[in-house]
Chain A
Amino acid sequence: MDFLQKSIAAKTIFAAFIGAVFSTIVGILAARFIGPSSLFISGAVVFAVTSYIVYAYLHKPLQKIFGEIKALLTGHPYKKIFTNRIDEIGILGHFFNEVTKSIERVSADIQEGQRMSKELSVGSDIQRKILPVQMPTIPGIALFGNTRPASEVGGDSFDVFTGANNNTYVYVGDVTGHGLPAGLIMVMVNTLIRTLSEVQQSGYDIMINTNRILKQRIEQRRFMTAILLRYNTADKKLFYTGCGHEHLLIWRKQTGVCEVRQTGGIALGMVPDISKIIREEEIALLPGDRVILYSDGIVEAKNMTGEMYGVSRLQNAVQALSPLSAMPEELFTNILKDFAAFVGEQTQADDMTLIVVQKLV
């Protein structure tokens, strides 16, 4: 009897057989007890019973299913179909339930994606507002720079601001990873450095305290490389404090040579106390000399053949393009053109930051 459960066709044939037997019995009994005219009555009875069976087993369930399908297609509320049937109508009911389940899952994913995208957009806005909109005018130096995150929220940051005691600071930082967690750390460090610059006298003091506070608040596996330049507008001297960041590039106008200098130190957030590991050092510069800061997103970018841009290539670009670039902004643009020609159409894998600082007097 299993085949009867699974097939409407089988059910229909079976029902027709039962109907034929039933109508024969009713006809014989009616003819015997009522008379020949009872054939009409028995026919009517058989027709009524058959019609009811067709309505109850076929029409009503199909009507229910198609009603829910119509509701789904026209954007109206629909209901799950409850059925124990395993024939064609049962399959249709189960199929409807599975389709609506999948649609609901995809819809939830889309809504979640939209929500996250909105949050990332807010995060990206906050981050963008922290970054300098345009380069400030600082007596004695000219500078230009920018950062481009790899995703909506990046881990790279740079800033230019004035602190206490005639000090102007330029810093570039790079948090491990990118995305929202890295962006939050970037915002934290930016705020710390800016705040501490108003009370501390040197890049060394700022970074030690930034590190001490940051270490208490971030996961063990996260850290931030950074380099902080301090230019004192009174004595016109430039200093740097390295915290595990990329090498500095220094272009000397007189010789035309671009030197590479290790920044040293240790990244912020690795250990609680970096007072014995970092130091602030002077960069002796003459007017026209330039200092180039960047993040690893530039030197580690690869082209189609998998070759990295690299520090050497950047150094050569600075050396070749500096004499052709009157001001930092021009050098910035020319370096990026060289970079873009190298990487081609490759997707940006990491945040990128580049800053050019030039001593004027």
Chain B
Amino acid sequence: MLSIKFITDIRDTAYEVVEFDGEIDAATLPGAYKKINSLLESYTRPFLVFDWRAVRYTNSDGVGLLMTVYDSLTQKGGVLILIGLQPQVADVCSAVGLPTIMPLFKTLQDAIVFMKKPK
């Protein structure tokens, strides 16, 4: 089971948060792609934050989803940020080298500090 919620902070137009709750695998992937793709079509903010604090499990399917979003955002000059990875999920992401291309943070506050840094 997987639920996805979009959260917009009207005070800050630099980012939007997408909250995931559940497991990201072959069974839940089609639904996840459908929702995320509809967001990405018209997404123009410089950052997109995936809140994975409630993601209990993922495998290469979840990494594949991240890479699809990463590619899509990168083409528009955007940045995908991951926050709150649980240990099993962090292991999977770390093993394939995701931290080398994607900012990972424990909390949204840490991510906001990163986003506010002058480039």
Contacts and interface: CB of A to CB of B under 8 A. Distances in A.
B47 to A, nearest CB: 18
A327 interface: no
A223 B63 CA distance: 9
B109 interface: no
Interface extent on B, as a size class?
10 to 19
Interface extent on A, as a size class?
10 to 19
B73 to A, nearest CB: 11
A270 B97 contact: yes
Contact of B96 (A220, A221, A225): A225
B4 interface: no
Contacts of A271: 101
B60 A244 contact: no
A140 interface: no
A223 B66 CA distance: 12
Contact of A222 (B64, B72, B95, B98): B64
B13 to A, nearest CB: 27
A221 B67 contact: yes
Interface stretch (A32-40, A196-204, A229-237, A260-268): A260-268
Contact of A266 (B60, B72, B96): B96
B67 A223 contact: yes
B71 interface: yes
Nearest to A155: B60
B42 interface: no
B8 interface: no
A304 to B, nearest CB: 19
Contacts of B98: 266
A91 interface: no
Is the contact region of chain B dominated by helix, strand, or loop, or is it mixed? helix
B63 A176 contact: yes
A267 B64 contact: no
A266 B100 contact: yes
B95 A176 contact: no
B60 A176 contact: yes
Nearest to A177: B60
Contacts of A245: 95
Nearest to B64: A221
Contacts of B101: 266, 270-271, 277
A266 B68 contact: no
A270 B67 contact: yes
Interface string A192-236: 000000000000000000000000000011110100000000000
Nearest to A221: B64
Contact of B95 (A177, A220, A246, A277): A246
A244 B64 contact: no
Interface of A: 176-177, 220-223, 225, 243-246, 264-267, 270-271, 277
11 contacts: A176-B60, A176-B63, A177-B60, A177-B61, A220-B72, A221-B64, A221-B65, A221-B68, A244-B97, A246-B95, A266-B96
Given A176-B64, A265-B97, 4 more contacts: A220-B67, A225-B95, A267-B97, A270-B67
